[in-house]
Structure 1
């Protein structure tokens, strides 16, 4: 009787990636036989994601039914525990914050952010960092930065133009607290400038965001101007006025005109040759006006008055 002895197949255990990061795929495939069976529930030549470092054994069977084994170790590296750190997670528009990654070797941020470099966000946004460790494994983390708008601070004056020695009231709005360049922390301040003066107020809202506003208080010497051909005399009082002007003249007055700073005639009144009358300009805004008086002879007299109601 002849006994035939078949050699065992020379089985090989092949791998696409013998070192992988957790969650990544690799493929084990046998060689040198006809069919292959792997330990660890691995299917030959089908990619899978190993969860731990392990050694896998393949059993290969050839056409004679002879079999042999081979082994392959796959090393699984854990992913880095990446953190997203921020110096200020809530900022006011125009202010800086810094995002920096932790737990890895190199970091890449979304939103064109450079790791550990200060920047000024323009909107509320969530930034994602990808950190890569020394094994080439990566993980991500996210950080939201909230952007608060600056308050819209404004200031109005109760009189855009005052005479030297008079006072103006400046009123701030748009914020919660205020600091003026006069050192006042009041919402409303009273000023008595001798010349055109700029006043700056910085307003801060409930979020701690600040903005500034500059107002220039205009000041005039309020010197009367008279011009006539026959030296006629007229008197306008009180000046400043609350809106009711007494006008007295040594000649009959035919026409009274009130002109604003743009040269526009805002009041025009025929007087029927009166030389003692009252002119009501309470409907006008607080400002300095030119009062032009034409007498019966056609001569013109004019004077500046301040309306301050």
Structure 2
């Protein structure tokens, strides 16, 4: 299987090394032969841009052959505790999740799907719910998916007082980490296949925050105008394309830190040496800029006059010489 990195095609599995914070764009071309893209295991859109993280991260694109079926929920609602424990919110356009020591600030989401038309041989079952954080007080909230065996609840009568109990086992966990609406995904393949193998025709999933916070996760409900919850079912053969990003520590290990990369206008350079010489070479090997800097502090290097493209930065100090590829995007 193939993926794209920064617009260029590569055969998976692919491992690349990048500077921390460097923006990279990955994509999953589809279709590829008989295979159709389903989702990235970590969520996000088919083509997405991310900043190279501190730790190594694996991104997996999932593909499938055969039929893809998208199911809408037949019921969804959130419930609240405390003073609203007897109130029903089934007609709301949003679903709310929050875990808090105060019952008044405790919310849980329930979604029910009719799975009677699904065979037991499903190869993929992904719950997709569009949502966001309502603020960044807690910048990342883990939302757990739990199975609820009692599926007799009704959207217009469920409350905090009569909600069905959920199973303690966590089916999947997804981190909600943005105040911008986007789809998040929970892999429910094992659960759905198991339920269908025993003839069960509906499933209820409870979403609950795994960590206590003072802010909320707001999801779109089935009453929303767009981007409603979905259960995406696929049968047939499955395939995966894996991409691993690793942080490049070579510059930092020599006592040099260079960022951001790609860079626009100003490049920040910090060395642990007393002085250093910076030499910028363009793609043809021509020296286009040279500058002496003092160490121990962050030096801001003006490069706003350099043309867009790839440059080689050579850094010379008393500990040695190192080079780094810099992408200029003025």
TM-score if structure 1 supplies the norm length?
0.26
The structure with the larger Rg is 1
**Relative contact order: is structure 1 or structure 2 higher (C-alpha 8 Å, sep ≥ 6)?**
2
Normalization by structure 2: what TM-score? 0.25
Structure with bigger helix share is 2
